[in-house]
């Protein structure tokens, strides 16, 4: 059984003042919500500590947007998984399409980042998803299988059960164009089959989130799908009312496989 999860990816937005305000609203609405979906916020790195302090003892976890694959070393500007763990970070986004595109992250690097996170006790949220061109060429399944396969081949052991997969079709991110619920469900079911090919236990426990222009108005329909266990939310997670409404519309669901 899998508990629903909603993660807000704040990308490179906000300031101390706006993030404090956003957290106040979230804490008020969701901070004591033991019966709802698991909620995670992923601020820009300089605000991780602020979030961790303001969310201590609350039912909202802190996630990072990136991590380096190595434990330490001469990697100027990077942050290790152990450093994140020391600041109470419980999740980390790995392989977001923006990092694959702008930072040139490869499948192999994303897999190494997932491994580093798992070793530090942090759950990686690995992003997979095809571009519009790949979908139109009938290659969506192959692209997603390749991206996920790199992680499943590289990471081993029980810890892999803490992996979270976010299916984020690139054409739906920040575009206002959301995948149809049935279209998203079809890919989520495919991802679960890929997980099952690796291990039935993984298919049972790994949560698969949908990401790509999730909004309050389309969240309930998406999350009603059998294999959609929650969402990775970008733009809408910066608007407190919108994000709270998305979290509430997911609610606490336990889906069997
Ligand atoms: C994202 O960046 O992970 C995302 C899904 O963005 P948006 O919700 O704005 O499409």
192-219 confidence digits (pLDDT tens): 999 999 999 999 999 999 999 999 999 9
Confidence check: pLDDT of 31 > 90: no
Task: Compute the mean pLDDT over every residue in the chain, rounded to the nearest whole number.
Answer: 95
Kindly give the distance from the C-alpha atom of residue 204 to the centroid of ligand 1, in angstroms, as a whole number: 26
Q: Ligand 1 within 6 A of 152 CB?
A: no
- State the residue for tokens 């909620």: 39
| Coil, strand or helix at 248 | helix
> Looking at residue 174, what DSSP letter applies?
T
Closest atom, ligand 1, to C-alpha of 233 = 8
Average pLDDT (237-243) is: 97
Total count of domains within the chain: 1
pLDDT of residue 34: 77
Q: Ligand 1 within 6 A of 234 CB?
A: yes
75-110 confidence digits (pLDDT tens): 999 999 999 999 999 999 999 999 999 999 999 999
Average pLDDT (142-161) is: 94
> Which helix (H) or strand (E) element contains residue 167?
strand 164-167
214-236 confidence digits (pLDDT tens): 999 999 999 999 999 999 999 99
110 and 153 Cβ atoms separated by less than 8 Å = no
Of 189, 169, 151, residue with least CA distance to 234: 169
Confidence check: pLDDT of 254 > 80: no
Active site residues: 96, 168
Residue 56 burial (CB count, 10 A): 9
Confidence check: pLDDT of 10 > 80: yes
Question: Domain containing 223 — which CATH number?
Answer: 3.20.20.70
pLDDT of residue 74: 98
Of 88, 82, 80, residue with least CA distance to 51: 88
Please state, in angstroms and rounded to a whole number, the distance separating the CA atoms of residues 159 and 229. Answer: 19
pLDDT of residue 256: 63
Average pLDDT (33-58) is: 94
Average pLDDT (136-159) is: 95
| Coil, strand or helix at 36 | coil
Q: Ligand 1 within 6 A of 214 CB?
A: yes
Kindly give the distance from the C-alpha atom of residue 60 to the centroid of ligand 1, in angstroms, as a whole number: 19
pLDDT of residue 51: 97
Is pLDDT larger for residue 120 or for residue 36? 120
Kindly give the distance from the C-alpha atom of residue 51 to the centroid of ligand 1, in angstroms, as a whole number: 20
Confidence of residue 112 (pLDDT cuts 50, 70, 90): very high
Burial class (CB in 10 A: 0-12, 13-18, 19+), 209: buried
Would you list the DSSP string of 197-227? HH-HHHHHH-EEEEESS--HHHHHHHHTSTT
Please state, in angstroms and rounded to a whole number, the distance separating the CA atoms of residues 192 and 72. Answer: 34
Please state, in angstroms and rounded to a whole number, the distance separating the CA atoms of residues 144 and 211. Answer: 14
Confidence check: pLDDT of 251 > 80: no
Alpha carbon nearest to ligand 1 atom 2, residue: 234
Question: Who's near 45: CB < 8 A, 6+ residues apart?
Answer: 64, 65, 66, 79
Confidence check: pLDDT of 255 > 90: no
> Which helix (H) or strand (E) element contains residue 104?
none
The domain containing residue 188 runs over which residues?
A: 2-255
Confidence of residue 157 (pLDDT cuts 50, 70, 90): confident
Closest atom, ligand 1, to C-alpha of 215 = 8
161-186 confidence digits (pLDDT tens): 999 999 999 999 989 899 999 999 99
Residue among 98, 213, 230 to mutate when testing ligand 1 (max atoms within 8 A of CB): 213
């Amino acid at each position: 059984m899998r508990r629903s999860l909603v993660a807000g990816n704040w990308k490179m937005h906000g300031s101390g003042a706006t993030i404090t305000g956003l957290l106040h609203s979230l804490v008020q609405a969701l901070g004591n919500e033991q019966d709802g979906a698991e909620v995670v916020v992923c601020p820009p790195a300089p605000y991780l500590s602020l979030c961790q302090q303001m969310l201590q003892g609350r039912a909202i976890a802190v996630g990072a947007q990136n991590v380096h694959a190595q434990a330490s070393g001469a990697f100027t500007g990077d942050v290790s998984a152990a450093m994140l763990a020391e600041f109470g970070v419980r999740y980390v986004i790995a392989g977001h399409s923006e990092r694959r595109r702008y930072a040139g992250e490869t499948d192999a690097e994303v897999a190494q980042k997932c491994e580093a996170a798992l070793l530090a006790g942090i759950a990686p949220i690995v992003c997979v998803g095809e571009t519009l061109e790949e979908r139109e060429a009938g290659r969506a399944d192959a692209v997603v299988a390749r991206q996920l396969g790199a992680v499943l081949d590289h990471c081993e052991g029980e810890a892999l059960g803490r992996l979270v997969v976010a299916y984020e079709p690139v054409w739906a991110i920040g575009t206002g164009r959301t995948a149809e619920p049935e279209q998203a469900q079809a890919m989520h079911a495919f991802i679960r089959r890929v997980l099952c090919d690796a291990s039935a236990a993984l298919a049972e426990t790994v949560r698969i989130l949908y990401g790509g222009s999730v909004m309050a108005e389309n969240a309930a329909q998406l999350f009603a799908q059998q294999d959609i266990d929650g969402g990775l939310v970008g733009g809408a997670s910066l608007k407190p009312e919108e994000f709270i409404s998305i979290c509430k519309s997911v609610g606490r669901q336990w889906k069997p496989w």
